[in-house]
Amino acid sequence: MDSLNDKMALHGAEALSDAELLTVLTGDETTAEALLKEVGGSLARLNALDQSRLRMVGGLGLRRARLLAAAAEYGRRTAAKQPVEADRIVRESNDIVRIFRPQLESLPHEECWVVYLTGSNRIIEQRRISQGGLQATVVDARLVVKRALELLAAQMILIHNHPSGSTEPSPDDRILTDKIVQAAALFDIRVLDHLIISREGDYSFRRAGLIE
């Protein structure tokens, strides 16, 4: 532990590997290795485990399980509240994935967001439009387009997460996308993409040829 503390002091927490970071949080290297083994080396999967499951792994116990859960929630809230840089330009869909992955990939419920843009791809606003359950969230296409008109946005990108880990769009995802694309087109507003983010990866409707 002393060597890890020295490493953090010299280079910051970002210099720690996943195993080292968990060692600092749990206070035990063996427990940290057991946790990573349990989730196949994925911190995102670890963040998705509830406290009752966490406390059973490697003898972690309730106190340290709560500490890990609190650390994961702290990270999610920090990412969610961090504002997008003013006038940031979106050059590709992966720019949006990088913004939203930290706050969405480990959530136990679905959330749907919209990023509104100018005609030159500058971000005007990012807004959560729906929060739902494990399998789905309800989105009102009229409210999505209404906000675009209020902001005088020329374009938008839809984003939501799949807590299940799958990145494949559901039939409801496809229907919702088509509905918003058609509604936005009535006002000459373009839907650039619909992105699905999960701990297993991401899915782009544009890459899949479902949005032109």
Q: For residue range 177-187, list pLDDT tens digits in order.
A: 999 999 999 99
Residue 209 has a CB neighbour count (10 Å cut-off) of 8
| The token pair that represents 48 in the structure block | 């998705």
Q: Identity (one letter) of the amino acid at 9?
A: A
d(CA 143, CA 128): 11
pTM of the model: 0.66
Inside any domain, residue 50: yes
Q: Identity (one letter) of the amino acid at 142?
A: R
For residue 158, report the phi and psi dihedrals to the nearest 5 degrees: -95, 145
Of the pLDDT bands very low, low, confident and very high (cuts 50, 70, 90), residue 28 is confident
| The token pair that represents 40 in the structure block | 């196949």
**Residue range(s) defining the domain that contains residue 113:** 85-204
d(CA 34, CA 14): 21
- Are 142 and 190 part of one and the same domain? yes
Q: Find how far residue 201's CA is from the centre of its chain.
A: 10
Is residue 209 pLDDT above 80, yes or no?
Answer: yes
Inside any domain, residue 18: yes
- Are 76 and 105 part of one and the same domain? no
Of the pLDDT bands very low, low, confident and very high (cuts 50, 70, 90), residue 86 is very low
User: Of the spans 39-53, 97-111, 183-197, which averages the highest pLDDT?
Assistant: 183-197
